[in-house]
């Protein structure tokens, strides 16, 4: 029987699992004394990150994550906080992508990134097999899949390795040309291809400083205290030992804007409210954003987000 054009995705059993997952997440943090908060989905600004596009809306932009608002709460003395937040990404539609999705984002003042990964293990162990997750540095992942280390080879080698990988898959194209001459975009693509080979739950740690985003750098500044969680080739989470220095964060925002100009992307002004909060005193903390819809997709064996989201983009 053909599906009605008005019909939501999934079924009653999937909607029930979704509700049960929300309840479990809230209970998990309530038992640990982490405060639930809510922040706006419409902000005055988007983000400078060239890899993200915040959809424009009247008066501002739909937020790609609640991070900036939550950090302002932390600077105001909130203590540990979490949120089940609606997030938005322009131009992201596909089997694992939807322009609107649900994030579980939380912050732990006084914790480092490994302590936060330990809490993620505890959170996800009842939901998905294979936890606690393996730990694998960014450099080790690229060596494992492509036989190269980003610090030990010239940038041209990144494009060569990616082009060879694409050719083996029957795809054509010059990665550097497709990346508008931006080697960091090529490195991000190379990492993305490598991470999709991981099946067991794995935390990818110790990112290159150029891909630190909002993470602090480790002593010696050779790697960033950023991590991602990958399960069955699917990226589930992105987390940081948070950068607390307003000046360094401003410099990174300006570098983002320069990359945007190079890539021909719209400029995004710096979020002065976030920088003011950092200057006022963001406490040392670790934070992470976890894709709830993707977790549910893996929990239920669904082939796409449409099967676990009542109203994916195709059903709007």
C-alpha to C-alpha distance for 159 and 48, rounded to whole angstroms: 25
Q: Give pTM, 2 decimals.
A: 0.95
Q: Is residue 204 part of a domain?
A: no
Torsion angles phi and psi, residue 271, rounded to 5: -80, 95
User: For the chain, what's the residue count?
Assistant: 316
Has residue 266 been placed in a domain? yes
Please report whether residue 276 resides in a domain.
yes
CATH number for the domain including 89?
A: 3.30.930.10
User: What average pLDDT does the segment 208-237 reach?
Assistant: 95
Answer yes or no: is 254 within a domain: yes
**How much is the average pLDDT of 177-204?**
92
Q: Is residue 201 part of a domain?
A: no
- Is there a domain that residue 167 lies in? no
Q: Is residue 88 part of a domain?
A: yes
Q: Is the dihedral of CA 253, 256, 262, 267 positive or negative?
A: negative
> What distance in Å separates the CA atoms of residue 248 and residue 207, rounded to the nearest whole number?
17
- Picking from 237, 238, 274, the residue whose alpha carbon sits closest to that of residue 253 is 274
Query: CA–CA separation, 147 vs 144, rounded Å?
Result: 6
**Residue 300 is part of which domain span?**
12-133+231-315
pLDDT tier for residue 2 given thresholds of 50, 70 and 90: low
Share of the chain above pLDDT 90, in %: 80
Please count the structural domains in the chain. 1
* Any domain includes 195: no
Q: Per-residue pLDDT averaged across 267-293, rounded?
A: 97
- For 160-182, the pLDDT digits (tens) are 888 888 888 888 888 888 888 88
Which whole number is the average pLDDT over 28-36? 98
Q: Identify the bridge partners of residue 227 per DSSP, sorted by sequence position.
A: 239
- Average confidence (pLDDT) over 237-246: 98
Residues near 208 by Cβ (< 8 Å), separated by ≥ 6?
Answer: 138, 150, 151, 187, 223, 224
Q: 243 with 216: CB under 8 angstroms?
A: yes
Measured over the CA atoms of residue 119, residue 120, residue 123 and residue 129, the dihedral's sign is negative
For residue range 283-294, what is the model confidence (pLDDT) as tens digits?
999 999 999 999
Q: Which residues contact 135 (CB under 8 A, 6 or more apart)?
A: 117, 202, 203, 205
The pair of structure tokens assigned to 67 is: 């991070």
For residue range 71-125, list pLDDT tens digits in order: 999 999 999 999 999 999 998 788 899 999 999 999 999 999 999 999 999 999 9
**Mean pLDDT, to the nearest integer, of 30-36?**
98
* 107, 154, 162, 190, 237 from 139: Cα distances, Å: 26, 14, 15, 11, 19
Position 50 pLDDT exceeds 70? yes
Predicted confidence band of residue 46 (pLDDT cuts 50, 70, 90): very high
Give CA 140 to chain center in angstroms. Answer: 20
Q: Which two tokens stand for residue 66?
A: 């609640």
pLDDT average, residue stretch 138-165: 89
């Amino acid at each position: 029987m053909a599906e009605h054009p008005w019909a939501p995705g999934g079924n009653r059993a999937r909607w029930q699992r979704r509700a049960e997952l929300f309840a479990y997440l809230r209970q998990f943090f309530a038992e640990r004394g982490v405060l639930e908060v809510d922040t706006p989905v419409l902000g005055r600004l988007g983000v400078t990150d060239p890899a993200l596009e915040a959809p424009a809306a009247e008066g501002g932009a739909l937020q790609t994550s609640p991070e900036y608002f939550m950090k302002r709460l932390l600077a105001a003395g909130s203590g540990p906080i979490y949120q089940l937040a609606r997030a938005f990404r322009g131009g992201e539609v596909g089997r694992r992508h939807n322009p609107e999705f649900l994030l579980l984002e939380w912050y732990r003042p006084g914790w480092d990134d490994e302590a936060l990964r330990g809490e993620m293990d505890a959170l996800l162990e009842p939901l998905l097999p294979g936890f606690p997750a393996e730990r694998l540095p960014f450099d080790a992942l690229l060596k494992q899949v492509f036989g190269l280390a980003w610090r030990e080879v010239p940038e041209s080698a990144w494009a060569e390795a990616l082009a060879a990988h694409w050719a083996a898959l029957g795809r054509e194209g010059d990665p550097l040309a497709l990346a508008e001459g931006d080697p960091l975009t090529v490195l991000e693509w190379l990492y993305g291809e490598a991470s999709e080979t991981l099946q067991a739950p794995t935390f990818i740690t110790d990112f290159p400083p150029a891909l630190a985003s909002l993470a602090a750098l480790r002593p010696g500044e050779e790697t960033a205290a950023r991590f991602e969680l990958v399960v069955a080739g699917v990226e589930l989470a992105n987390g940081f030992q948070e950068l607390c220095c307003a000046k360094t964060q401003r410099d990174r925002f300006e570098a983002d804007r320069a990359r945007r100009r190079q890539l021909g992307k719209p400029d995004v002004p710096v979020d002065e409210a976030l920088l003011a909060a950092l200057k006022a005193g963001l406490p040392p903390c670790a934070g992470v954003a976890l894709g709830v819809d993707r977790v549910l997709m893996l929990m239920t064996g669904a082939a796409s987000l449409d099967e676990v989201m009542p109203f994916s983009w195709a059903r709007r």
